[in-house]
Each structure stands twice: as structure tokens, then as C-alpha cells.
Structure 1
Amino acid sequence: MSLPNVWHHRRVADSGAKACYVCYKPSTTVLITPDNKDHFYVCVGHLKDRGFCLPIVDEAEAAAQKKHQELEEEIEKVKKEYEEKQKRKAEKRKEKKKEGKGKDSKEKKEEGKSEDAEDAEDEKEKEDKIKELSKSEPKVEDAPRIFALQKNFHQMRLDRIRNAELARRNRERLNNPSLFPTVPSGDP
């Protein structure tokens, strides 16, 4: 039986934590083969250990991560522009208040309403831009998702699977009554 040395990183719920394959501490991180034939729990710290496994870099994933970073930068840029607009508007309001102390209250209320409407419109515009940018690309984790075990650990996993298969076959043989010899039926 050939088991490819490709392992995908998955997470389970905290209630599903089991002992780490290496250190036996509870872990919620699982390495699983793409065909779901084998899996084992391992600590996140062991995934960073070069003596245990090496990350397999996927070109498409790296490109997606780079695109995600650019998207985050663009969102930050939109937020900064919005904050600058708000500062400028606040400064203009202060200047208008200083100039408009002699105006009557009706004109002040109308100006205040128009400024509030502009603020609401700008706020909505900012939120729309951020939502649009966020929807365009799903979140990508920084940690690698695919690993290759070192040859000794991979061989241990192969031996474990092979031994489990042999034990299963032996159990089936022992449950089969035709395996044992029959009692002689003739006279001695």
C-alpha cells in the first residue's frame, strides 16, 4: 500500500481535541491525507519543526495570499481617506460656526441638516467600498496548509497502517471456522 507523503492541515473544535502524535498533549490540529485514509493529531509547534515536517508551497495559494495583502492595504487606504475627509469637514464646520454666529437659527439648522446628510452619505459610501473589497476575496491564513513529513515519520505512519491491516486480516481468519482442521471422522 502506498500512502502519498502529502498531508493537509485541518482544525477541529476544542471539544474534539486529542493527544498529539509526538508529545501526547491535547491538540486541535490534524494532519490528514488528501484521500482521507490516514490522519493524526499534532501540535502547531511541531508543524514549524523542520525535523518533523516541511511545508509544501502552493504557487496558487501564494498568489492568493499576495492578492489578499494588497486588498487589505487598499481597505486601509479607503479608511484613511475617509478619516481625512471627516477631519476636513470638522474644520470647515468650526470655521462656519465662527463666521456664522450672527446668522439666525433657521439657517444654522438647515446647514446642520445638510452636513449631517453629507456625513451619512460619506459613511455609507465608505462602508460600501469596504464591503465590496471584502467580498471580492476570501480570508487566507498565513500558515501553510499542506505539509510533507520527514521520511522517518512517514515510514512510521506506513508501518502503522500496514500493521493495522495485518491485524484486521488475522482477526478475519480466526473468525473463519474453515481455517481450523476438522476432527477426524474415521476409526483409528
Structure 2
Amino acid sequence: MSNEYVKRKVALKDIQPCLICNKPSTTVLFNGDNNNGGGADWFYVCDIHLQDNIQFVVPVYSKEYENEVIHLRQLKQKITSTAAIKNGNWDGWVTKLFAKGTKSSTKTDNIEADSAIDADNEDKGTKGQDTKAPADLSALQREYDETLDRITKLQKNNKTYQLSDTFYQSRLERKKQQEKLAARRKQLQESYTNTDPDELLSKFAFPSVPKTS
């Protein structure tokens, strides 16, 4: 059984106690992995126990979520650097540009600055991008907010979880016990079914009806 559980909702008529706090809950963590033929595993749990509870479960997010998080970090770095430039920290930025060299001493200062920007972008493999500095801070902030909203939505709609090692091992042990009991019941049933009725009659003496005089 793999350590991957999916959150599901059941009807109110099927409500049962939470595994953690015993309060009634309609949320079920379901594991349908039946590779070993031992049947599915599930248990009821309150939604609040699925939030920031690494000792119980951790969410398993999609690739889309991971990409959005990376994009958010990149936007944060751009916003930080752009804000620093707009606040007057131009010296280090200009020095870096002109360290690449200028093409001609007869050109104006503006042309020299543009050439230095192009050289820097060529080194990074991004020629033609971000040639205007500082970038539009409001546009970056708007994109950051939109990305954050998408991340929040993906978090809210996540339905896949992994149990902590302790809980997962307890579920495995419980499943093994259930499989043993099921095998035992099956063995007893087969033993009873295969018994010859005549053999049963010879082993047991059934009481007879008393004779009346």
C-alpha cells in the first residue's frame, strides 16, 4: 500500500467519528491502492487536522503548484531589486553596465548605456529582455499578487496527502491484522463447508423426542 491518501466528502447520513478527536466528520482520507489484494484503507478526519500538521499528514501538491511557487520567488527577487533601483541605489547597477565596456567614445552617454545593457543581456542569454531599467514596479507587484492568488487556490483545492511515518506504519499494521483475520475467517468457513454431513451426524448425538406411554 502506497502512502498516498485522497480527501473525499461523504453524505451527512454516513458521518462517523474523526480518527484524531472523535468528533463527527464527513471528511474521509481514502487509499485505494490494492496491489496486494488486501482491500482499500480509509478513515474519517476533521478538515482542521489536515492544515499545518506535519506530525499527522503533509499535502502532496501538483507540478503546477510547484511551478507557481518558483515563479513567485523569482518575482519577489525582481521586485526587491527594482524597488532598490527606484529608491536611488543606481551606482552599483550603472557600474556593472559600464564595466562591460563601451563601443565608441564619440557616442553619447545614452548610447553607451544602451550598449552596455545589450552586452549584459547577451551574457545571460536574454538579449532583448529587461532592457529598460528600472522595470515597472506596479506591473511586477500585480503579477506577484495574481501568482499568489493562484497558489492559494491550488492549496485550497488540494486533495492528496501523505501520512507521517508514524501514522502510516500504524495503518500498515492495522491492514495486516485485518488481512490475517479475513484469512482466518475464510479458512474456518472452508473447513465448515467441506465437512461431510454424515460425519457431523456420527459425531453429534441429537436428543430424541420423549416417547409417551
Q: TM-score, normalised by structure 2?
A: 0.44
Greater C-alpha Rg: 2
Q: TM-score, normalised by structure 1?
A: 0.49
